[in-house]
């Protein structure tokens, strides 16, 4: 089956595959690496403009490594899952110190770098060297689960192992670069999560899910879990010049390294943490609550707009910045900050 599968897939790819994506032009290990990391949690249409901007700002590994993390996160702002940007920056510095600024071309060495898992490592090797390496991203999981009726949620160990075994069996020895792109394309353009275009699929005659009218059952959905709801209050502290106080979060944990509004349920106590006396407050206005969702929980945010009569002379030792919306600094902002700045 492996030979016929890859042969048929490549015939389809030659006619109908995507051949002009930004990272397919002028292929280099660095460009492939950046694109694969961006595509870990993001669809192609969304990632493409961010890829172009990122490569323009950081055209090489050494430029990425020498940049400040603030500039890296600022360039990534809006793409989400910021750990990917932090890992790119960490890995770039490791590459400069251990590999003379070059990406190693073995799956095991790539996996040892921050933010690179088995599938991303396989894609980099396959696309850059055309050597046999296996990938298993979300699109590929969906194609294989449907075509071969592989039961279970792909996030479970048993199902994941079954999918990896099948992916390894089907990966050919020749044209691995094209095969890698082809199987991702099939999942992205035809074998989509909803309303798959089975009529134009090269495997409709063999696809078990299609023949048994069960495409909607494969792959199995993640078992439902009720996400807990956490709450926080964000203080939008504005000085007379229209600048807003932002605090840099710790480099690890939620929104690591990004800049956000100070948080605290008691307004006066939070202001005192920044050496701001309540007598400097001109007005307070509570804004509408909104919800920001993460993978494992929802965060319910209550914004309070605090206007000051004067800018404090000192703010203590906290990493802060007075952010001007009209002349924005090149720093990475959290999603809620971006949203609230637009509302202002």
Domain boundary among 217, 248, 276: 217
Percent of the chain with pLDDT over 70: 99
Domain boundary among 197, 217, 237: 217
What is the mean predicted confidence (pLDDT) over 245-263? Answer: 91
Same domain, 304 and 181: no
The count of structural domains within the chain is: 2
Nearest to 238 by CA among 192, 189, 289, 287: 287
What is the mean predicted confidence (pLDDT) over 236-255? Answer: 92
pLDDT of 289 higher than 70: yes
**Rounded to an integer, what distance in angstroms lies between the CA atom of residue 129 and that of residue 133?**
10
**Rounded to an integer, what distance in angstroms lies between the CA atom of residue 112 and that of residue 114?**
7
Burial bucket for residue 175 (CB in 10 Å: 0-12, 13-18, 19+): middle
Same domain, 193 and 44: yes
Same domain, 192 and 336: no
Confidence band of 317 (pLDDT split at 50, 70, 90): low
Coil/strand/helix, residue 106 = coil
Confidence band of 279 (pLDDT split at 50, 70, 90): confident
Contact 259, 284 (CB under 8 A): no
Residue-number span of the structural domain to which 331 is assigned: 229-343
Same domain, 299 and 161: no
Same domain, 95 and 180: yes
Dihedral (Cα; 216, 220, 222, 226), 10-degree rounding? 60
Confidence band of 2 (pLDDT split at 50, 70, 90): low
CATH of the domain at 298: 3.90.79.10
DSSP 298: E
pLDDT of 1 higher than 80: no
Confidence band of 21 (pLDDT split at 50, 70, 90): very high
The predicted pLDDT at position 313 comes to 77
Same domain, 42 and 121: yes
Looking at the DSSP bridge assignments, the partners of residue 231 are 300
Instruction: Tell me if residue 36 is catalytic.
Output: yes
**Unique residue bearing structure tokens 């000085």:** 239
The tokens describing 183, both together, are 């199987």
Specify if 223 maps to a domain.
Answer: no
Specify if 222 maps to a domain.
Answer: no
Question: Measured between alpha carbons, how far is residue 164 from residues 155, 167, 168, 292 in Å?
Answer: 12, 5, 6, 34
The predicted pLDDT at position 3 comes to 72
Mean pLDDT of the chain: 94
**pTM for the full model?**
0.87
The predicted pLDDT at position 270 comes to 87
What is the mean predicted confidence (pLDDT) over 78-105? Answer: 96
């Amino acid at each position: 089956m492996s030979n016929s599968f890859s042969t048929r897939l490549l015939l389809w790819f030659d006619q109908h595959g995507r051949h002009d994506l930004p990272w397919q032009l002028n292929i280099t290990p660095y460009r492939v690496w950046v694109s694969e990391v961006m595509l870990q949690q993001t669809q192609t249409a969304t990632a493409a403009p961010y890829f172009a901007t990122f490569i323009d700002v950081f055209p090489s590994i050494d430029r990425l490594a020498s940049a400040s993390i603030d500039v890296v996160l600022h360039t990534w702002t809006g793409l989400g899952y910021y750990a990917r940007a932090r890992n790119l920056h960490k890995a770039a510095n490791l590459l400069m110190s251990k590999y003379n600024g070059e990406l190693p071309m073995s799956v095991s060495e790539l996996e040892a770098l921050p933010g690179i898992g088995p599938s991303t490592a396989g894609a980099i090797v396959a696309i850059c060297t055309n050597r046999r390496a296996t990938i298993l991203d979300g699109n590929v999981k969906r194609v294989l689960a449907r075509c071969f009726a592989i039961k279970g949620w792909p996030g479970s160990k048993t199902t994941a192992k079954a999918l990896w075994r099948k992916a390894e069996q089907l990966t050919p020895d020749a044209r691995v670069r094209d095969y890698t792109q082809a199987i991702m394309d099939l999942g992205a353009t035809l074998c989509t999560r909803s309303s798959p275009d089975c009529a134009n699929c090269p495997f409709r005659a063999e696809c078990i899910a299609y023949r048994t009218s069960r495409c909607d059952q494969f792959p199995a959905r993640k078992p439902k879990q009720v996400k807990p709801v956490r709450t926080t209050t964000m203080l939008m502290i504005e000085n007379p010049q229209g600048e807003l106080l932002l605090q840099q979060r710790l480099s690890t944990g939620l929104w690591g390294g990004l800049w956000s509004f100070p948080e605290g349920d008691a307004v006066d106590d939070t202001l005192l943490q920044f050496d701001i006396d309540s007598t400097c407050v001109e007005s307070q206005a509570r804004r509408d609550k909104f919800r920001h969702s993460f993978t494992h929980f929802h965060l319910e945010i209550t914004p309070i707009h605090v206007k000051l009569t004067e800018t404090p002379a000192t703010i203590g030792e906290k990493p802060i910045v007075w952010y001007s919306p009209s002349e924005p600094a090149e720093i990475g902002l959290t999603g809620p900050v971006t949203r609230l700045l637009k509302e202002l």
